[in-house]
Structure 1
Amino acid sequence: MTRLSVNINKIATLRNARGGNNPDVIKAAQDCENFGAEGITVHPRPDERHIRYADVIALKDVVKTEFNIEGYPDLRYLKLIREVRPAQATLVPDAPDAITSNAGWDTLRHAALLKDVVDEIRSLGVRVSLFVDPSPRMVEGAAKLKADRIELYTEPYAREYHVNRDVAVKPYIESARVATSLGLAVNAGHDLDLDNLKFLKSNIPDLAEVSIGHALICDALYLGLENTIQLYLKQLH
């Protein structure tokens, strides 16, 4: 079964635009779980433009499914992981001013940086996932670093899906095959939606988890949050 982890960053963006606590990010996370989500994802950034570090701490004892904290492994992020001990830490190579994730790790070039970080996080009992492009070489690099999982960066797949979906999904099938052969579980995320999710899942049957935020929240504006989560689950299950 592929788990659906809902990224609630966009709910925090809406709250921050007005100030106050409407919508309530903590309640939204609880509601997502009650509506069927099998995980909650957050990606705190240094400028706290959406999820704040205080939100992550507050969510620590609230999330009852799997809590996934994404981020660049700087000192503040690692301190957060030590304090919260989420189910999963997803390491991304974003610059501090990045609008959103736009590339995966070069697991070969950044091996020295990542090795100590992966070892430290795993020593806390936290699963480590490395955000990578769909490249067998990058997957092999992640395995050498002893990561538990990879998260395939799916923006290129989503972009090409409506042009030629068979071509679009091919590197993901190959990368997932390599990951599985090396003992890595496979996650996926970025620009996945109700149009392209089912095809990805059907081609990567062992897909462990997808993390979806922007498209899901956009759909919820029209379809309602509970109904939207159920529709995404239907694509996966």
Structure 2
Amino acid sequence: MTKLSVNINKIATLRNSRGGDVPNLVKVAKDCERFGSQGITIHPRPDERHIRYDDVYDLKKIVTTEYNIEGNPTEGRFMEVVLDTNPTQVTLVPDKLGAITSNAGWDTIKNKDLLKELISTFKQEGIRVSIFVDPDVKMVEGAAETGTDRIELYTEAYATNYSQNKEMAIAPFVKAAEKANELGLGLNAGHDLSLDNLAYFHQNIPGLLEVSIGHALISDALYLGLENTIQMYLRQLQ
């Protein structure tokens, strides 16, 4: 079964909007796991507009499933906090400073040397590494040369085009996944996956190990409740 990792950035955004500690990020992470989530994902950014660096350490103490930290390894304190907390997985994302959300995968060819160095550093500490890539066979091939354990397919294009033509929307992701499987890369996916499009993606992507979902899941939870929502997402992955 493909694992569901819940991204709790939006919970931190809500907390930070009023200061204080409501909602409590640690409690929400515990509840997500209690309700069936098989992982917790966070994406700290240098401006700490949602996940703060202190949160990375606080969550390390309580997460009992897979702990996945996403982010740009060349910005802020990312390298420091990841190496300090030794999560299950680090997902390297080429975010630019000030980006609202992730909007592109790595050019694994141009950044091959940088990625090889970073990935080697994390793997020496026993941290599994995934790198964010677009559904481009050449980028997948480039990723395999960096030494990464996994890739995470950037699924915004799929989600955007799903309602118009789902077969066409998923086609490049199938090709990228097949190439990843051929090259021995583990396969994750994330960005704008939702209750509307997740099941079809899961049914058609071979070897999908994990999806990381935050914005849609937390938005659905406002109407459906967090426990019910997590269970609904898990059913899409069966």
> Could you say whether these structures have the same fold, taking a TM-score greater than 0.5 normalized by the shorter chain as the test?
yes
Secondary structure, in 3 states, of the residue corresponding to 2:228?
helix
Aligned equivalent of 1:118: 119
User: CA offset at residue 109 of structure 1?
Assistant: 0.7
Residue 156 (structure 2) pairs with residue 158 (structure 1): no
5 Å-filtered alignment, 1:81-120, equals 81-120=82-121
User: CA offset at residue 205 of structure 1?
Assistant: 3.8
Runs of 5+ in structure 2 lacking a partner?
none
Residue 176 (structure 2) pairs with residue 172 (structure 1): no
Residue 222 (structure 2) pairs with residue 221 (structure 1): yes
Aligned equivalent of 1:191: 192
Aligned equivalent of 1:39: 39
Find the aligned partners of 2:78 and 2:55 in 1 and give their Cα distance: 13
Runs of 5+ in structure 1 lacking a partner?
none
Which AA in structure 1 matches 2:217?
A: L
Residue 61 (structure 2) pairs with residue 61 (structure 1): yes
Secondary structure, in 3 states, of the residue corresponding to 2:208?
coil
Which AA in structure 2 matches 1:145?
A: T
Find the aligned partners of 2:100 and 2:146 in 1 and give their Cα distance: 27
TM-score, length basis structure 1: 0.99
Which AA in structure 1 matches 2:120?
A: D
Find the aligned partners of 1:78 and 1:203 in 2 and give their Cα distance: 35
Which AA in structure 2 matches 1:158?
A: A
Find the aligned partners of 2:61 and 2:21 in 1 and give their Cα distance: 19
Find the aligned partners of 2:142 and 2:96 in 1 and give their Cα distance: 21
Find the aligned partners of 1:124 and 1:76 in 2 and give their Cα distance: 17
Which AA in structure 1 matches 2:110?
A: R
Q: Which region of structure 1 is more displaced relative to structure 2, 114-123 or 69-78?
A: 69-78
Residue 27 (structure 2) pairs with residue 27 (structure 1): yes
Aligned equivalent of 2:141: 140
Find the aligned partners of 1:78 and 1:22 in 2 and give their Cα distance: 28
Find the aligned partners of 1:172 and 1:111 in 2 and give their Cα distance: 22
Find the aligned partners of 2:38 and 2:233 in 1 and give their Cα distance: 11
Secondary structure, in 3 states, of the residue corresponding to 1:208?
strand
* Percentage identity across paired residues of the two chains: 61
Query: Which digits, 9 at most, give the CA deviation of each residue in 1:120-147, with x for residues without a partner?
Result: 0011100000000000100011100010
Count of aligned residue pairs for this structure pair? 237
Which AA in structure 2 matches 1:86?
A: P
Q: Is the 8 A contact 2:174 2:206 kept in 1?
A: no
Find the aligned partners of 1:153 and 1:27 in 2 and give their Cα distance: 29
Aligned equivalent of 2:77: 76
Q: Is the 8 A contact 2:178 2:206 kept in 1?
A: no
Find the aligned partners of 2:82 and 2:186 in 1 and give their Cα distance: 21
Q: Is the 8 A contact 2:15 2:21 kept in 1?
A: yes
Find the aligned partners of 2:79 and 2:18 in 1 and give their Cα distance: 30
Aligned equivalent of 1:10: 10
Find the aligned partners of 1:70 and 1:178 in 2 and give their Cα distance: 23
Q: Which region of structure 1 is more displaced relative to structure 2, 68-77 or 188-197?
A: 68-77
Find the aligned partners of 1:233 and 1:147 in 2 and give their Cα distance: 27
Find the aligned partners of 2:84 and 2:51 in 1 and give their Cα distance: 17
Question: What RMSD in Å do the two structures reach over aligned CA positions?
Answer: 0.7
